Amino acid sequence: MTGNDFRAALRARAAAIFLGAAVAGAGLAISVPADAAVRPAVGRPLQEAQSLAASGNYSGAMAKVHQAEAVGGLTGEESHVIEQMKAYVESRENSTSGAGKLAADYRSGRWSAVIQDAESMKGLGANDMAAVATAYYRLHQDSQCLSYIDQHFGNGGGAVVLEIKRACAYEAGNDKAQTEALEQLVAITGKPDYWSQLLSSAERSKALKDPQMLDIYRLRLRTGSMEGAKDYMLLSKLALAGGFPSEAMAVEQKGIDAKVLSGDTVNRLVAMSKTQQAQDIGGWAAKLAAAQKAPSGDALIKLGEDLIGQGKAKDAIPLIQQGIAKDKTDMGNAYRTLGLAYLDAGDKDQAIRAFGKVKGNGTPNQELLARIWILYARK
């Protein structure tokens, strides 16, 4: 239930208390002389209306309100008290049926009753449906929660509903649904906490390969989701293992500048990265010649990714395009790498188009990471 529902329910309760006090005042007034604020002909049916409403007889209570309304020559005070009683009866009735009862059951934590209330209602609003999803979650009926949200909201519903979906998916152990919810939450809010959760969810994907793990930690670095020295060290080692020593050195330097990396272990890693970088750059011409002669374009694409790590994204784009033009290329990886090159070259639109081509050309994990890169490119 949203804050608006809570506030409406509290207003109804406050009105009931206030109106009860007003009618009590009217009851006292009818015992005094005829010049009192409320005449007995008006006050008595209002007292009866209060008693009937308290016992749940709302139609009878409203009939008594109408009886008071029918008294001739109503004063301003009498009309005011009649309107108060009418609102009181309506608030009592609304609190025991329909949306009012659903709100009351929600506030009281009667989760099964919330679901039953919704089943008896027609034309549920978005807030009521969010309350039902929450009720399923509170009852630990997480699969039912996910089914309900998918049926009534799809991948929409706003941040509140998506957070409920994420929570239910987590409890149900449904990584796919959790990732879907987190992708939408990232798209809506861009919050670092959601980025961290999304990347952690992606990291739990089955059969992840090193290129996907490398991308996850590249995204952690870019979105401020790194968790201390271990993440910087892992990203550096993944870059080295992938054959991208210049990128590894850049990561290490960022960790040192952030005062996260220090000590002998880091010094040894930096020394190894420098050695590999020198070898990589020194043998570049030979590797390029071999890649151009290779039967597939994979080697050209890898060299393009290496150029991105060297800070030469614009130079990488034509090299990757040459690789894509060759046969027997891993097209999922090729379009993902082209997207990285465009992104670092500052062309977000082309990057999004390239990442979008991974769908239908790559593995499920490649497609997942491409979607996340698109989210990043759009932020």
pLDDT at 125: 83
pLDDT given for residue 95 in this prediction: 59
The pLDDT assigned to 10 comes to 28
Residue 346 · residue 314 · CB < 8 Å:
no
CA distance 39 to 35: 8
* pLDDT given at position 8: 38
Amino acid at 131: A
For residue 86, the model assigns a pLDDT of: 85
Separation CA 207–CA 96 (nearest Å): 53
Per-residue confidence (pLDDT) for residue 100, from 0 to 100: 73
Helix spans in 310-330 (H): 313-325
pLDDT at residue 33 in the model: 32
Q: Which amino acid is at 36?
A: A
Q: Please give the single-letter amino acid code of residue 208.
A: L
Q: What percent of the chain has pLDDT over 70?
A: 88
Which of 322, 258, 312, 253 lies closest to 281, judged by CA? 312
Considering the entire predicted model, what is its pTM? 0.72
Q: Distance (Å, rounded) from C-alpha 61 to C-alpha 334?
A: 74
> Tokens for 156?
């929409």
Q: Which pLDDT belongs to residue 253?
A: 97
- State residue 96's pLDDT score: 58
**8 Å CB contact between 307 and 243:** no
Taken in order of first residue, the domains within the chain and their CATH numbers are 3-96 (no CATH), 108-198 (no CATH), 210-378 (1.25.40.10)
Positions of the chain with pLDDT under 70: 1-36, 91, 93-99
CB 272 within 8 A of CB 240: yes
